Amino acid sequence: MSDQLACQKFGRKDLDYQRWRWQPHQCNLPRFNATVLLERLRNKRMVFVGDSLNRGQWVSMVCLVDQIIPPGLKSMHFSFNNSLITLKAKEYNASIEFYWSPLLVESNSDDPVNHRLPDRIVRAQAIDKHARHWTDADILIFNTYLWWKRPFMNTLWGTFGSTDGIFKRVEMLRSYEMALKTWSDWLEIHVDRNKSQLYFMSMSPTHEWGEEWGRTTDENCYNEQEMIEKEGYRGRGTDPRMMRIVEDTIDDLKRRGLQVKLMNITQLSEYRKDGHPSIYRKQWEVLNEEQLAKPTSYSDCIHWCLPGVPDVWNELLYAHIFT
């Protein structure tokens, strides 16, 4: 369990956020069965690729299956500068992996630990550095969204450290579109269409502005213990323009004969302002007195407590894998 997500371990007392279940209209979700999933993964690789939100979903999946694997028949491995983390279920020769690639394409934020840089730079047309680590995966689950949230993205044509590259400050949506085109072109060329199942997780909403659900302007998810009940609620942390680019990219892939399923977890997660770590997580830096006096100033309203919302995402993923 990541200390960023272990809210109960770090002092959260209200636990109702663990108990909500999602019921889609007009269908019933199958009950998650770890044994059935591992049997499906026998001799296979399931790889989550993306940012810390996708890593949270991977942690959730690991926790969901870990309980049925005997201690001597499982192992955890870290490789490629810790960018790739693998749970191995030895009895099934199955692996459930996470690969750190927050922008999918190559960037200067690719180090899984030292990536908090003031000037983010992407090579929007370069993906092979990452993709070679998931080329032969049987089930691939991608995401990329949060790290693009800025008006402009510094974009490089060329290689890092080279003197002959072209560097431009590109409007974010255009750079995002280029990156997803690079990703989709790679899939078209390298994916075994008879073998691989491909998924893209839609954007994970944030709850950083309390006035959106009737609080004051200086409040956020801190101390929220109930979900939002207004059907169709959407906060401004969600960007429909980015969603449309993802949808258009996936539609284009389908026209090219490659099936990628968009897992739309956005709306169901919009309601869950109660599900974030807030202050109940490991703090990576020492907090000063001013911050400590104002908990909203250091509340994490982006990631999700576990157990919690990402378990629902995996229940949906499980249902799609078996359809």
3-class secondary structure, 7: coil
Q: Which residue has the tokens 């407590």?
A: 305
151/171 Cα distance (integer angstroms):
6
305 phi/psi in degrees, rounded to 5: -65, 150
Burial profile 98-134: b = 16 or more Cβ within 10 angstroms, e = fewer: bbbbbbbbbbbbbebeebeeeebbbbbbbbeebbebb
Catalytic residues: 52, 300, 303
Contact partners, residue 244, CB within 8 Å, separation at least 6: none
Both tokens assigned to 188 = 């078209």
Residue type, 79: S
> How buried is 314 (Cβ within 10 angstroms: 0-12 exposed, 13-18 middle, 19+ buried)?
buried
